Structure 1
Amino acid sequence: MVRRLLGLPSFSLGLLLLPLLLHGLEILDPGQVVYKETRTNGVVDKGVILECGTTLPDVYIWGFTRLGTDTIRAVVYNFGKGPKLQQLAKDLGDLNVISNSASLSIQKLPLAAEGLFTCQALYDTPEGARFHYYYVYLRVLVPVSKPYVLLSDTAPVEGASVWMRCGLENGTGPVNYIWEQESRSGLLTTLIETNHSLVNVTWVTRNHTGWLRCLARNEVNQQRSDRIWLDVIYGPDLPQIDVSPYSVTERGYSALEKETVSLMCQASSNPASQYVWFYNNSQVYTGPQLTITKILRMHTGNYACLAQNTYLNTRSKKSITLTVYYPPDGAPYCSILPANNYNDLALFCSWEGGYPAATLNWSPYTQGGNNQGTNNITWIQPGPETTNNSVFTCYGSHITSKVSQSCSTKTWLPYGEPQCSAYATRNNEYLMLSCSWEGGFPLALLWWASSSGDIQGTSEENSNILILRSSADYSGKAFVCHAKHPLIKESKTCVLKLEAPVLMTQRSVVSVYEGSDVQLTCILSKNYPAVAEITWFNNMKQRVDESDTPKKYILQQAAAWSNLTVRETDGSVDGGQYWCSATNAVGGAEIPILLVVMRNPMPPNVSISKIAYSSRRRTAVSVEWLIQTDGDITGFFIEQQNLQLPLWQKVVSGLESNTRSHLITGLDPFGKYAFRITAVNQRTIGYPSGIKSPALPGLNAVPAVIGAAIGGMLVAAIATILLFMYVVRNRNNMPRLHDLIFGRQNSQSRENINDPEDEFVGAAEGGEGGGGGGDIEEIPTPSPGPSIPRPSPTPTNLPPGDEPVNVTITVMASS
């Protein structure tokens, strides 16, 4: 077979033997040729590798034989000078030889590449040349394309047969077909798995309703088709009736009266069923759910549901019996009532209505008996023998409920003691005595009595208010409130004693300086019932109310006191008698308070001790003053008067009380002024001081004389130094004058000037001068003169005429 496929006598052997002979190789026995067959698969448009040994042969040639032919044609060969692709290689895809091997790599594999590939390889070994034949059977596979679904009937009736086809355009067989179904809820299941694209469902059911799709699979890949909806027609089945709320009796269903009852009818059908409700054979409603709100006992009867499939024109029907029972309304009602004039307890339990009647019983059993009855029941329990906070429970049962209903009640004594209080109506027209002992069960009974025991008014539970017309006759009298509860033997009491108000004040006479605020105090010491408010009257017998508060008066009140503040008192208006008044339902009281408004004392008189211009420019005046006596002073103010315009003008105010001098600035140097000073306290202005005008400042000649003296001394000193220098330099021309001044040449008294920096002499001090009377202008005092160097002694051992002379004269001028 291999020989037939390869055509070795005509092509391959001759092609191989020729190069070998040319190279002088020794050809071994042909029986030693190695043959190897392999099969491989490739995918259209993908890549594949065809092996030709594990090592690179010295010479190789690849051939290709198409399916159904015996012709072998060369694809690529390598005689030692590199691979050479033949024309056929272009038809077999993107073909290349893998480097360092004889294997072929085919990319973009076409369907035409399917066939037999033969690699003839020659290896030069130490034993001689050896042939290898590699036969590679390449199968080119085609992936399956996306399938499509065809149904013989997309809406079959349940029980019919349906043909389903999964169509496929491309794909190498064998192909496996899987039919999948997706329900409405999204659940995916596998219906059929087969090798045929056409499937027959002989008996379709409602369970086949849903999305169908086909999955096609081969060796290469798998693809799913688009979904198609299979709608199976069926029904209706026998309806199912659900009653809500659910309650079953021997005769069928039951419901409680006045409840909302819902009858739901459901029958499987496609398309959905149409529902019609019948009550006692009369049509009452169309739809799946019949709802009866507040069902009544007359709604008892037979209810039937008819389900219809309009597409198939089929129907089904079911009936039920509904009985309406009505239990007693709500739950049992329990209560404890006083009995036998609030000495015993009556336990009362009631649960009216319902059919049949409810059964009631008390627990714990009282007096050792069986306390049971129907609809309502009452039993007497001795009061003082019952402990506080005792709980009694009444149990009620009814045929409509498996769970018994109950109610509980507790008897307990009110907390604390009875509370009494008294208050009056508006304008104290009536007096109201209130007594309460709140809480407890049953409620306590309360009644009022006078201190002598006479019953006042009527008795009431929980609280009692006795209304009396206001009268001063009740002042000092007592009223007693009695409270009785079944759990105690004796009644409890509380006592009210009525009293007219009593007023007090801290000071009956209040004095204040004029202009200040003053507070009047009124204290309520005794009163019952409570006073609604404390009233103030001013010195004009006018009532002080809140409308005056932001202006003249300020009111501050509490339950037991009241303060009246008079603002910025005025002696001519606010002084006099003020009244504080209080009234309740059993009397009234008032007290006077005298307000004395005193004038503030006058500040002491002021006298100007010194006043003068601060300089000859006449723009500022310095003033000093004294107070004549000690007194209440808060400050001063200064007034000035231009003598050309005789009007006083306040130029300085707000000076502190300890100030005794001040500098007034900003004056006109050509004006003539007079000044006065006035003392003030909190509310009073004193008398002005005497009027005085400022004087010009006196002249002082002492600085000028001292300056002139210092200047003269400096001039004399400089002249003397210049004379000395001239004599020293001309000592040969004037020897006698030189000796007269400095002494002889070798005398120790001789003085030579070497370095002027050796010593400095300070300037002479100036003398003092006096000034006479009259106006003398101020002369500025000259500054001290400059430092003058003093000659230092010169050595006497130098020859005459050779002494060094170095004179430095420094002159400094100051302006």
Structure 2
Amino acid sequence: MSVFNNVEFRRTFFGLLLIFIVRECEPSVKPTGPSLVKALVGTNLTLGITYTVTEPQVSWWKDGISIATRTVDNGVPPQIDPQYKDVLVLKEDGSLSFSNVTLEYSGIYNVIVVKVGAGQGEASFTLMVYDIIEGVSLHAWPNNAVEGSGNFTLYYTTFKGEAEEVQWFLNGKELQNGPHYSMSGKNLSIIQPNRKDTGLYNVALENPFSFRTFERNVTVLYGPDQPALDVRPTKDFFVVGESLSLSCGARGEPLPSVSWAFMGQAVPGSQPGTLRITNAQTNQSGDYTCLLKNDKTGAQLNMSVTVNIYESPAGGPACSVHAVDGSSALRYRCWWPGGTPEAQLSFPDLSTASTAVGELNVTVDDPRSLDGKEVSCLIHHPVHQSQCNITARRTAGFLPSVSATVNDNGKLVASIRCLAEAVPDATVTWARSGQNVSSLSGHEISDDTTWLHIVNFNISTAGLHTYKCTAVNPLGSQSRDTKLSGPAISEVSLFPNEEGTVITLTWEVPSTAIVTGFDIQMKGPDLSDPSTNKTVSHSGRAKKGYGTIQVKGASSRSADISGLDPKLRYLFRVVPIAGRRAGQPSEEVVTGPGGGLSGPAIAGLAAGIPCGLLVLLILCLVFPCVFYHKKRKREARYPVSRAVEKAVTTLTLPHLLLTGGLKMPPDYSLHQPPAAGRSGPLPFEVPPVRMATTV
């Protein structure tokens, strides 16, 4: 029976056809120019429109209130709200004209075009009316800005006109809203001002028809703070007879005044910022106090220092350990020069017989027993005793790390770092597949030997070579092998917030992978901007395929994506990048409901129904003939074993819509081969369908 004999089918077909025709006839209206119109007070303008139907009814609305209506080409004058008649004219083509426009006409205008029986179309305009800006001035509250005393506000006034855009500048640099600067309306508030806020402030006011600026100097009062009390020369103590000077100062606005006291008593005749002591004596040891005061704010600050005057060496002891060039020996060094007499130095842990004055060096030819052992240098002096400690260690914590960059020439540079914790510092040597890299072109070693840079690295040959780094100091060595690999993602995860509007995408990278960045890709509907609730379409992303929505650097391991609709389904993946080459994308991670059709998918399905019905009609007419012809030719040539007769097959039938309601023959190729000892296998040229016919 023909499909067209089915009454339900015909009703469905013509119903869909009628829906398509009605949708095509719906009226539409578009602005002839920009939808955002900016005008100067007293000028004339027109909000022009075009539409796709004849003799429609056109109505204009301002901020939700009807202001003008007319039916095009019917000869009836338009109806205009009385309060707008002096300014508005509704033209015969439906456009809305303004004459001598004033500030009160700023607002949102909607135009609705209605065609009886065909529906309606709508367009929107935003009209902004401006006046020329004149008479700008800048004021401050309070009059003085004091650091840490509260908020300080600058605000501007104008004699005429309003600004569409307001910009604030400090010393020529534009200020931004944040925790320190708050810009709202005509005000700039400095929250808890500090000395860095001192400078020339400038406000720039602009609208489409004028631009004005005004500036004002602001000085933030502060201090005294950050005091500096120095003793010259700088040392822990002084020898009798030396001269020294104490200098004191602090930052502040205005500059703080300075006075001195010794052991709580004012020092007469001292210079404000400097106190000099000549031919120092032991009775001059003690506490010296610097008194700092801001004379304008009244703030005060005191700072003290203790001066010790001794007859002993200056400075303090020091010690170190170094490798002896060309050998496996270690050299321990201890020094504390100067003093009367010079200090006696010794390393009792190394040699009880070795002592020296001022500086001591002891060489240990076999240092293996000193690995991790703290060695002390003892310092003996009549005034006091001291010591310094040094510990030699073999290489430890040796773990290579891999990174990659693109140089200025656009070439991929792969870098391997082998940094060992060792005292004295370890020297690192490098080899590639057993060959010293110093003889290979395109390989560079850093001055401290811890980095190997492979210039113009070829991802295609990444796994062909093994790089070995060996760290050596006199106490031992360690080696590590590294085989580089191309860009890859080892793991990817997705974590949505409770509302389902923001997700955090995290991923991991194999430790030896060469990666210079990541492309965050998405498949699904467009995201929305949370600040405007408007859809944001990302360039390069097809709605039916994956497209890049974010690009991350090589060190990134997470990305936040906002603007998701929790009712829709989104798919994400991470693509590792090495230079200009992309690696295998990560596995897909999904957020949102598991199924459902989007609006575009439903539209595509509706558009494909007529073509699908035509194909089904052809299949219904042709397939039965072909199947009947093949059935008549089919003959059984061979007996079938009982194993096949007893076999149970399962068949997943295709959807009836795709087969035209016909049953497909079972797939007997799913049977297992006959058991040993029974019927042998069928000849090669006989297809399994013959067995199915016999069964």
Above 0.5 in TM-score?
no
Q: Report the TM-score when normalising by structure 1.
A: 0.27
Q: What TM-score do you get using the length of structure 2 for normalisation?
A: 0.31
